Amino acid sequence: QQQVKQSPQSLIVQKGGISIINCAYENTAFDYFPWYQQFPGKGPALLIAIRPDVSEKKEGRFTISFNKSAKQFSLHIMDSQPGDSATYFCAASRVGGFKTIFGAGTRLFVKA
């Protein structure tokens, strides 16, 4: 199966709170898991990515947690800010491969 399932579809968080977005995949051949951030009217941009040889990767306020046995990974945004309001896509691909499978996206709104 090539799908990547993403939840929730939308999320509202108070300023300073933690935003959590979850994704699950089925194809165990995937070995590269990026998250993309998209602002309205713009193209997505890579936010952070992880490979399955580590269980967590942190860059500033953004953290990916990875559970290889459960085939799940999640994005945590600490101290969420109104400027984080965007659509977030998880994705999966094979290192060296050409196709990336995207989740359906999560629209995050951070209330000031």
Partner 1 sequence: DGGITQSPKYLFRKEGQNVTLSCEQNLNHDAMYWYRQDPGQGLRLIYYSQIVNDFQKGDIAEGYSVSREKKESFPLTVTSAQKNPTAFYLCASSSLAGGNNEQFFGPGTRLTVL
Per rule CB under 8 A, count of chain residues that contact partner 1 = 24
Which of 74, 105, 108, 110 is close enough to bind partner 1 by CB under 8 A? 105
44: left (phi over 0), alpha (psi -120 to 50) or beta: beta
Beta bridge partners of 62: 59, 77
Here's the x/- map for partner 1, 50-89, by CB under 8 A: it reads as: ---------------------------------------x
Task: Please tell me the distance from the alpha carbon of residue 86 to that of residue 70, in angstroms, as a whole number.
Answer: 27
**Is residue 40 helix, strand or coil?**
coil
Return the residue matching tokens 């993403």: 6
Task: Please tell me the distance from the alpha carbon of residue 82 to that of residue 101, in angstroms, as a whole number.
Answer: 28
Q: Smallest distance from the beta carbon of 42 to partner 1, in angstroms?
A: 6
Here's the x/- map for partner 1, 10-49, by CB under 8 A: it reads as: ----------------------x-x-x----xxxxxx--x
Residues that bind partner 1 (CB under 8 A): 6, 9, 32, 34, 36, 41-46, 49, 89, 93, 95-100, 102-105
